[in-house]
A = this chain, B = another copy of it.
Amino acid sequence: MHSFRVDLDRIFTGDRVAVARAISTVENELAGSEELLRAIYPRTGKSYRIGITGPPGAGKSTITNRLAQLYRKQGLKVGIIAVDPTSPFTGGALLGDRVRMTDVELDPDVFIRSMASRGSLGGLSKKAIEAADVLDAAGKDITILETVGVGQSELDIAGAADTTVVVLVPESGDSIQAMKAGLMEIADFFVLNKADRAGADQAVMSIKMILNFRKESAWVPDVLKSVASEGIGTTEIAATIAGHRSFLDKNGGLAQKRRKRMEDRIRELVVDRLRIDFWASERKALLRKKMDAVMKMHSTPYDVANELINDFRNHQSH
């Protein structure tokens, strides 16, 4: 217990080693993970969370990098969680990109953590959000969650931010179509990156057209243009984030958003725990035993589900 306390204090002062270890603990669900999360929880809620998502190659990490530099110049501490197989932060890009990241990576007040998207997709959004909690408790003023917007899990992560930015490029017309459902709904605003390329204005137009189909609301998502590789547009992106933040602050939206997020988290925790309780070895064995009957049409999936639930109920009451 004593060493645990010490680590907590070191997390709260932003000690890199302690923070890295804490994130590893939640990421790998090591012993003490829940105790840690419970202990840091009262220290969270101060960091502003920015979600940055979009198709691969849209320049999300270049924008993340530029924003981090800008916030550092304002004296803010920055945490970055990158869940993107194509992100330079997660090692997916070419050497040239990696080199460009170095100034941010070397800054002691920028903490970058990459999380693998492969293999652990199930609990990924939960873990990324818990990692953001650690950075929050560690005193980061800004936490950027960078994810590639392809799967539900990645969208969940970006959607768990206070402001969510969707980055597109002129060529992503096809992606816009494909990802309309998910991406359009979580975006607080859009950035059309690589806006020096042909088709930029048409792309902005078509995003705006799609936006017209969104439900009326007090906040109208904007579409900004940027050329992040040259640093063009970063100030406007940061200004729009700040604008959205003060919009949320004014109308109580931030508290509401965070409350909703916390409720969702409790619901997920409940489902996770129920699932673990439910699929104890006795129910796994029961399912295995019943599958032959289902395949031979002697029973149905509905009957087996009921039998399993009854078995669970009986065990609960003991």
Contacts of A270 in B (CB 8 A): 278, 305, 308-309
Interface of A is mostly: helix
Q: Which of A240-282 contact B (CB under 8 A)?
A: 255, 258-259, 262-263, 265-266, 269-271, 273-275, 277-278
Per-residue interface assignment for chain A, residues 30 to 44, with 1 indicating a CB less than 8 Å from any chain B CB and 0 otherwise: 000010011001100
Contacts of A45 in B (CB 8 A): 297
Per-residue interface assignment for chain A, residues 117 to 153, with 1 indicating a CB less than 8 Å from any chain B CB and 0 otherwise: 1000000000000000000000000000000101110
Residue of B nearest to A43 (CB): B297
Residue of B nearest to A313 (CB): B316
The answer on a CB contact under 8 Å between A56 and B177 is yes
From the candidates B152, B263, B294, B305, name the one contacting A287 in the complex (CB within 8 A).
Answer: B263
Given contacts A266-B308, A271-B271, contact A297 B41 (CB under 8 A): yes
Given contacts A151-B152, A262-B294, A294-B262, contact A305 B273 (CB under 8 A): yes
Residue of B nearest to A54 (CB): B178
Residue of B nearest to A149 (CB): B178
Contacts of A303 in B (CB 8 A): 38
User: How many whole Å from A226's CB to the nearest CB in chain B?
Assistant: 19
Tally of chain A residues near chain B (CB < 8 A)? 57
Q: How far is the CA of A308 from the CA of B259 in the complex (A)?
A: 17
Q: How far is the CA of A34 from the CA of B301 in the complex (A)?
A: 11
Known: A258-B295, A266-B294. 19 other contacts (CB 8 A): A34-B302, A41-B301, A41-B302, A45-B297, A151-B152, A174-B175, A175-B175, A175-B178, A178-B179, A259-B295, A262-B301, A263-B287, A263-B291, A269-B305, A270-B278, A270-B309, A273-B306, A274-B278, A316-B316
Q: Which A positions have Cβ atoms within 8 angstroms of B?
A: 34, 37-38, 41-42, 45, 55-57, 117, 148, 150-152, 171-172, 174-175, 177-182, 255, 258-259, 262-263, 265-266, 269-271, 273-275, 277-278, 287, 291, 294-295, 297, 300-306, 308-309, 312-313, 316-317
Can you show 11 pairs from A to B with CB atoms below 8 A apart? A38-B300, A38-B303, A150-B178, A151-B181, A175-B175, A259-B295, A262-B291, A262-B294, A273-B309, A277-B309, A316-B317
